[in-house]
Amino acid sequence: MAALSTAPVAALTTTGGFGAPATFARTAVTTATTAPSPALLVPLGTLVLPLVLAWTVSSFGRGSAWLYVLAALGPLAGLGLGLAVPTVPTAAYLVTFVVLPVGAVLVFLGDVGRYLFATR
């Protein structure tokens, strides 16, 4: 964390010591069979969020609403990126695991709120 405040560009372009997200997800799933933990939410969330958004958009949305689903696929892309490339910069993980899914959910909820407010 200190590296981020002293040299932010260097901290975001290096690997940052996060390890492989796929390894984390695999460990969370295998240990969940013996003792479920909150770490299981990460691999479950990478699957459930795009599925829920895809169902919602296919039922109620149209057109550009599919961009929410595309952004929600960011964590799956991050897992695939971690498997394909041995050293991934910290910024890529932040974008795929934080910025894309959180942004997709926030904009989606704002869009739903705007629609509900306009139709009442």
Show me where the domains of the chain are located: 1-119
**pLDDT given for residue 2 in this prediction:** 67
**pLDDT given for residue 106 in this prediction:** 93
Tokens 């169902």 belong to: 55
**pLDDT given for residue 107 in this prediction:** 92
**pLDDT given for residue 25 in this prediction:** 83
**pLDDT given for residue 67 in this prediction:** 92
78 alpha-carbon distance from chain centroid? 8
Q: What is the pTM of this model?
A: 0.77
| Average pLDDT per 10 consecutive residues for the chain, totaling 120 residues | 70 69 81 81 89 91 88 91 83 90 91 89
**pLDDT given for residue 21 in this prediction:** 80
